[in-house]
A and B are shown apart, each in its own frame.
Chain A
Amino acid sequence: MELEVETVIKIAAYTGSGIAMGLGAVGAAIGEGYTAARANLAVSRNPKISGDIFKNMLVGQAVAESASIFALVIAILLLFMDFASPSLLKAAAFLGAGLCMGFGAIGSGVGSGYPGGESCFGISQQPQAGSQLTTNMLIGSAVCQTPAIFSMVVALMLIFIDFGNAPLTPTWAAFVGAGLSMGLAAIGSGYGGGLAAGASCEGIARTPQAVTSVTTIMLVGQAVSQTPSIFGLLVSFILMFKTFPESSMLATPMALLGAGLCMGFGGIGPGIGNGMAAEGAVRWVARNVEHSNELMRIMLVGQAVSQSTAIYAMVVSLVLIFVV
């Protein structure tokens, strides 16, 4: 059975669209469920301010929702894309875009649920710190969304950039690898950023006067948690924009696919680990604000060590791209 190029592109686009929306729905749903669960607990503790808690819950859930809205946008684009010059390369790019956005939305969706839930619970304990908690929740969950935004950027580039007449083999593997690298690496960073943001909302509710120190250490911790997803972005840019000479060997495309898988999976653990370190530091700055400098120092040292495996993964994937 011979398939026409247009048919192959349609198959890839529809598959990519399904993957993008299916996986993209996982994270936000879990995150929003967590927010709602904490909000219920908060209302049962302090029913008199149920209106404030309800409002805060909806705002938090709306931010957590954005990751899956990005996935919806990419899925709809893939369903209704018109393409000027059909080529098999475009099929690979569509599949890569779907994988990238689908995986990329998971971490941010789950992560953004934590600040939402903890701030609802915090409002029930400290109603007078409500506006500080809402502000801090918005900052924290906005930072959590960055890995999902990176994924959307890579997916949009894969969909819209005209890669001209690059050779089909091995460029197809570079596009799928680019999607996997960014999408998978975004999982850990999104989730880790959420852990830090959740702890900061809990901390502000406990000691509202420590708000400046808590927000500062949350932002530093989240920034370090984002690095694995930035490594993923870097590798996927290299895979998209490096020109690969044509090759009939099977090993060349597999090396590029392997590079994407390596950086993608390799970014998950360090992203979560850095987030855990930041969570611990933020929680204890709120309890022991005089020693925030020591806590910041040990958080950064711990995160640097936890980052090392992401750096190994990046080295191996760069070797797979440039050396072998």
Chain B
Amino acid sequence: MAIEGAEIVKAAAFIGAGLAMGLGAIGPGVGEGMVAAKACEAIGRNPKEAGLLTRTMLVGQAVSESTGIYSLVVALLLLFVV
């Protein structure tokens, strides 16, 4: 079976998309979990500020999410555009 160059490129793009999203999901998942753990600690220490702490947690997590979204974008580009 002769495999053409374009065929190998497509196969590599699929594997690459899987790895990009898969490995890219590790960091944000762990990082956002740390944020949530510390937010729980903060609310435990100072429950009166729960609203402010929830807002801070969500903003921090949104920033930490960005690399996960980059991975998603790259994976979708590899799947549909390249």
Query: Hey, which bits of chain A sit against chain B, CB under 8 A?
Result: 184, 188, 192, 228, 248-251, 254-255, 257-277, 279-281, 283-285, 287-288, 291, 294-295, 298-299, 301-303, 305-310, 312-313, 315-317, 319-320, 323-324
A272 touches B33 (CB 8 A): yes
Q: Is the interface of A mostly helix, strand, loop or mixed?
A: helix
Question: Complex Cα distance A280/B22, Å?
Answer: 26
Could you tell me the distance between the alpha carbons of A296 and B34 in the complex, rounded to whole angstroms? 16
Residues of B within 8 A of A (CB): 1, 3, 7-8, 10-12, 14-19, 21-41, 43-45, 47, 50, 53-54, 57-58, 61-62, 65, 68-69, 71-72, 75-76, 79-80
With A277-B40, A305-B65, A309-B29 known as contacts, the answer to whether A320 contacts B79 (CB < 8 A) is yes
Asked if A291 meets B44 with Cβ closer than 8 Å, knowing A270-B29, A306-B33, the reply is yes
Q: Which residues of B are found within 8 Å of A259, using beta-carbon distances?
A: 18
- Complex contacts, B57 vs chain A, CB 8 Å: 298, 301-302
Say whether A254 contacts B15, CB under 8 Å. Answer: yes
When the two chains form their complex, are residues B43 and A295 in contact, meaning their CB atoms are under 8 A apart? yes
Would you call A275 and B79 a contact (CB within 8 A)?
Answer: no
Q: Which residues of B contact A255 (CB under 8 A)?
A: 11, 14
The residue in chain A whose Cβ has the minimal distance to the Cβ of B69 is A312
Contact A280 B38 (CB under 8 A): yes
Would B72 and A312 count as touching, CB distance under 8 A?
A: yes
- Among B34, B39, B44: residue with most chain A CB under 10 A: B44
Which A residues are in CB contact (< 8 Å) with B29?
A: 188, 228, 268-274, 306-307, 309-310
Q: Is the CB of A309 within 8 A of B68?
A: yes
Across the interface, B79 reaches (CB within 8 A) one of A302, A313, A319, namely A319
Shortest Cβ distance from residue B22 to the other chain A in the assembled complex, whole angstroms: 3
